[in-house]
Amino acid sequence: MNEETAFEENGKYFEKSLDRFMQEKKEGLAQKIFMAKMDLEKTKSTRKRKHLQEDIDGLKMDLGWTLLDCKEYEKGLALISSISWETHGEMKCNGMARALTEMGRYDEAMRLLKRGLRTYPDSYALWIAMGALYENLGDDFESLKCIETALQFAPEDDSTGLYNKALALMRIRSYGDAVPILEGLVKRHPEDPKYLSDRGVCALEMGYPQEALRYYQIAMEIWRRNPDVYTGICIYAGLCSAYMELGMKRESMKIALEGLKKFPDEDAVLYQNLAATFWEMGWHREAMEVLKKGIEKFPEDEELKKFLKDAEDDMDDPDGGANPPLLGLILLAAILKKRFRKR
């Protein structure tokens, strides 16, 4: 078995293992809840019943968040909603807000978080959740304000809030301000490739493609030891962009092909990457075929549709000069929305 095949097998094994782990975790928590409820039915002492109910609510909270991590938002919301406000108010508000945000029920999430922050004004978790909600609403400046407020109440060893702040700064194109945060996170967590990947984004957007390439290459080396889908997509997208910016078209095409081969069903950006590299190689029809396949997989993706339309217009009028260079569109691949990070 060669190195590439071994890596692919390792990646598949990782995903299957993660799915199996999450399923076993859900089943284990459900069993604990069932047993605790059985004990509650047998218990007559008021004090013991109260403690048992608190334990059950704690287990429900764990299972609810596990369901959210598995993208089972309706189930997670229903379970977390059944938990007592009195004993788990802050965590309940945070879990329900996450579920509502992920489901696109933004008005409900906003009302819930405002209510929660009136009760828990110093809640790190709820301010982070509010920042995530504003991100989904497209208000990056308000999102940044919420994250900065959250950091006033952050645990001493916090990384989540700092990372969210770096991402918010990147969304408003304040890359220079994001850099020291990301570099601090790289030093604190050298085993986590996502910080290196985002440091590469900053370098690329600040006009340092050679520096960006180095960050992406190191991130790839670390990621291969313990691969996950989302970080892998970010790294492949970034590497493709860095190579293209450096004029290394064949290397860009090779990494784009590799990324799409590994993750054909995960993100439209990988189809955009490959199409852009084909286009720059002069393989225009092949590029358009890749875009069409991407649109079949991701029919809601507007960037792929725009890319295809621009490509078709360019094919119809190659000397017109009215369309922007298609190479510029590949840079969109380097900055991915971080919708699946833990909050």
Q: 30, 63, 83 — which closes off a domain?
A: 83
Q: 83, 103, 131 — which closes off a domain?
A: 83
| Residue 254 resides in a domain | yes
* Residue 9, pLDDT score: 53
189, 162 contact by CB (below 8 A): no
Q: Average pLDDT by consecutive 10-residue portion of the chain (343 residues)? A: 50 58 81 84 85 87 89 93 91 96 96 97 96 95 97 90 95 96 96 96 94 97 92 93 92 94 91 89 90 93 85 68 46 38 38
CATH classification of the domain holding 276? 1.25.40.10
* Residue 319, pLDDT score: 56
For tokens 């440091």, the residue is 199
| Residue 97 resides in a domain | no
d(CA 222, CA 208): 22
pTM, two decimal places: 0.80
| Residue 176 resides in a domain | no
d(CA 86, CA 39): 22
| Residue 88 resides in a domain | no
Q: Closest Cα partner for 262 from 289, 230, 292?
A: 230
For 293-324, write each residue's pLDDT tens digit.
999 999 998 888 888 888 887 776 655 544 44
| Residue 272 resides in a domain | yes
Q: Closest Cα partner for 193 from 203, 204, 182?
A: 182
Q: 35, 50, 83 — which closes off a domain?
A: 83
Boundaries of domain holding 47: 17-83
| Residue 180 resides in a domain | no
d(CA 265, CA 250): 24
d(CA 55, CA 127): 26
| Residue 249 resides in a domain | yes
| Number of domains forming the structure of the chain | 2
Cα distances (Å, whole numbers) of residue 202 to 65, 196, 242, 303: 32, 10, 11, 22
Q: How many CB atoms neighbour CB 323 within 10 A? A: 13
* Residue 12, pLDDT score: 53
For 13-39, write each residue's pLDDT tens digit.
555 665 777 788 888 888 888 888 887
| Residue 262 resides in a domain | yes
Amino acid identity for residue 176 in this structure: G
207 backbone φψ class: left, alpha, beta (φ>0; ψ -120 to 50): left
